[in-house]
Structure formats: structure tokens, C-alpha cells
Structure 1
Amino acid sequence: MPTSSAVTTLIALFAIVSPITAIPVFLTLTAGRTPSERRSVALKTALVSGATLVVAYFLGEAILRLLSIDINAFRIAGALVIGGIGWSMVQGQKVALAASASGAAVVPLAIPLMAGPGAIAATITIRSTEGGAFWTNIGVILALTVVSYVLFLAAQPLEKLLGETGLSIVSRIFGLLLISIAVSSAIGAVGELFPALLG
């Protein structure tokens, strides 16, 4: 794969995985945690999301086919989860989907916020269209994992810069963005399942 194609793939996956969007959720779920605990959650989130995309790259299409799950149904299910998280953030409610910050690193941070249905579908598509360059694509996923980890490490300084009020505002804005992403994903999936509905 040419370097320009690898960069394009990285940018596309970064936009879909959107670790920046997950930062307010990361800060909410790790509120009151020590810096070392936050670093641990950041690392686990990055690794789990990266590992999920690698597995999806090699086995995603086969797994969905084995379970008779349509990729669009998978996207709608993920949209519902993401939309629920976004709604809680907009309402200023504490997002509490895991008993611990460590558990939150897996759900909802890594899955479905980052390695969600959209990212998995994109990864499967990349494999099917550029299967001959799979090692380069794996390198792109690993690079995205590192970038995500670095962004999560920068979350705490950002929290100090914004303060409690600023963080609350940003959290609500990103919550609205998550709802928009969820609605857009659901509409796209429904449109593919029922083309006549959208003309």
C-alpha cells in the first residue's frame, strides 16, 4: 500500500473511531481517580479498541456471517447504546455503565464509543478492498491505538484548563454530538435495510 493510501486510511479510521469524542466520557468515568488509575484506564481503552479492530479486520465478516447478524442491524444496536450515553451527558447525568473505571475502559469507552459498529464496518471494508496490504493496515490500526492513548493522557490537563463549569459545558456539547452520530448511523443503517423508506 502506498504511503498516501496508508495516511488516508489512518485519517478515515481516526474520524470514525473519534477518540476525541470519547474524551469527555473518559473524564466523567474517571472522575476522582488518581493519575495512575487514569493512565491505566487510558492504556486499557486504547489497547482494547485497537485489539477489537484487529480482530474485526481478520474475523469480523466471518463472525457476523456465522451468527447471521446483518452489519446494519449491528450498527443500529451500537447507535442505541451511543445515543443513550449521549443523552445522559446532555442531561448532565453521571454516565455509570460499569462498576469500575477499569470496566469502563472496555464498556463504554473502547466498545462501542471507539471500536463501535461504524469502526468495525469500516475495518471490514478496508480488509475486503485492500486485503493484499493487510500488514500495512494493521500498522495503521496500531498507530491509531497509540494516538488514542496519547489523547487520553492529554485529557487530565484539559480538565484542569476547562475547570468544572467548562468541562460540564463541553460534556453536554459532546453528548449532543454523540446523539447526532448515533442518529446518523441509525438512519444510514435503516436506509440500507429499507431503501424505499428514504426514497
Structure 2
Amino acid sequence: MEFDLGFDWREIVTATMVLFAVIDIFGSIPIIINLRNKVGKIESEKASIVAAVIMIAFLFVGEEILKLIGIDVNSFAVAGSFVLFFLALEMILGIRLYRDEEASTASIVPIAFPLIAGAGTMTTLLSLRAEYKTINIIVAIALNIILVYIVLKASAKIERIIGPNGLGIIRKVFGVVLLAIAVKLFATNVKGLFE
């Protein structure tokens, strides 16, 4: 089901799910609560807007930056598939292969960057761009930012309702989804390297 602007609901749903899994806002609730306790208040609006601006800007100029340093999108997408693969393993196995250092300030750093719009998100955006139309990725970003805003606003309430076990289940389910997407992304783009 496509419209003139190039909207494709399947692409929007897939891109939204991929970004949701990579941003992992539910898995970040303990970090958000810890930061809220440290600094008193998190400006949800500011964090959400800054993260959206960073993600959309990188979606458009990221490829140009790559061209400048002589890397094609297929190579970046294959590299991105490895990042997604390891992120998925972290989520499924409950291990920590890599985590950015936790900062003591809130809203912009580390919530907008690197918690929401971090290295994994940036890599994912360019990997998605190699496969999907830009308009669908922008819709996926918008949907995720709305969800991020809601979660930031209601983080304490969500943690009480879902509980640590619920958060663990959500992480594992999206870890498996992310693993499958990483494999597909690798398979799709690895051909482009040898053409």
C-alpha cells in the first residue's frame, strides 16, 4: 500500500521496530530513574527534540560524511549489521559488551545523546537508509521520539507497572527481532560490496 510521497507502511513498521529495539528506551528506564534521582528533573521535551534533530540531521548528512571519508553505504550497512548483531546479543543474553560511560548531567547528555541518539542509532539510520525510503525512516523516527517522550515523562510509573521481569522480557523479545534484522541487513548489503 503506497502513496505518492513514497509512504510504505511495511517499511515504516519495520524501521520503527528496528529503531525501537536499538534505542531500547524501556531498557534504559533504570538509567533514566537513576539520573532523575541524581539531578532532580529531566526535561523530557528538550531531550526528545534534541534527539530527533540529531537523528534526522544524521539521516541526511551522514551519507555525505561517509563519502567525504571514502566509505560507501553498503560497507557502512554491513558494519552496522555487526553493531546491531552485538546489541541484539546484549539484549538476549543479558550481558554488557559495551556501554557508554554514564554522565552526571541529564536532558541533553546523556539522555538525548548518547542514550537515545547514540552510535547504535546512527549506524542503524544509515543502514536503514541503504534499504528504505527516507520519508518512511523519518516517520519511524517521529514515532519513536513520541514513544521516548512518553517513557521519559512516565518512567517511574512504567517501572512500577512492568517491573524488572517485564522489562527483561521486552528486552529479550526485541533482541531476537533485532538479531533477525541484523542478519537480513547483512545479507542484503554484503552483495553490494562485491558488485
Q: Under TM normalisation by the shorter chain, which class is it?
A: 0.5 to 0.7
8 Å contact kept, 2:88–2:175: yes
Q: Which has the larger helix fraction?
A: 1
8 Å contact kept, 2:13–2:140: no
Mind listing any 5+ residue stretches in structure 2 that lack a counterpart?
104-108
Residue matched to 2:148: 149
User: Which of 51, 54, 70 is the matching residue for 2:54?
Assistant: 51
Which whole-Å CA distance do the structure 2 matches of 1:61 and 1:71 have between them? 7
Which whole-Å CA distance do the structure 2 matches of 1:64 and 1:169 have between them? 36
Structure 2 counterparts to residues 22-101 of structure 1, below 5 A: 22-27=24-29, 29-30=31-32, 32-34=34-36, 39-40=42-43, 43-44=46-47, 47-57=50-60, 59-94=61-96, 97-100=99-102
Paired residue total: 181
**SS of 2:7 mapped into structure 1:** helix
Name the CA shift for 1:13/1:32 in 2 (closer, same or farther; >3 Å).
same
Residue matched to 2:187: 187
Which whole-Å CA distance do the structure 1 matches of 2:40 and 2:4 have between them? 37
Name the CA shift for 1:152/1:53 in 2 (closer, same or farther; >3 Å).
same
Deviations along 1:136-173, whole A, 9 cap, x unmatched?
A: x9x86884575243343355543322211121122122
CA-based RMSD of the aligned residues comes to 3.9
**SS of 2:34 mapped into structure 1:** coil
CA shift at 1:54, angstroms? 2.5
Name the CA shift for 1:28/1:113 in 2 (closer, same or farther; >3 Å).
farther
Deviating 4+ runs (over 6 angstroms): 35-38
Which whole-Å CA distance do the structure 1 matches of 2:70 and 2:178 have between them? 28
CA shift at 1:68, angstroms? 1.0
Which whole-Å CA distance do the structure 1 matches of 2:85 and 2:162 have between them? 25
Mind listing any 5+ residue stretches in structure 1 that lack a counterpart?
128-136
Structure 2 counterparts to residues 162-173 of structure 1, below 5 A: 162-173=162-173
Residue matched to 1:103: 110
- The residue type paired with residue 54 of structure 2 is A
User: What TM-score, normalized to structure 2?
Assistant: 0.67
Which whole-Å CA distance do the structure 2 matches of 1:43 and 1:148 have between them? 14
Identical positions, percent: 22
Deviations along 1:82-131, whole A, 9 cap, x unmatched?
A: 221221121123575111164364336313444422344468x538xxxx
Name the CA shift for 1:69/1:28 in 2 (closer, same or farther; >3 Å).
farther
**Which stretch of structure 1 is more off in the superposition, 84-93 or 6-15?**
6-15
User: What TM-score, normalized to structure 1?
Assistant: 0.66
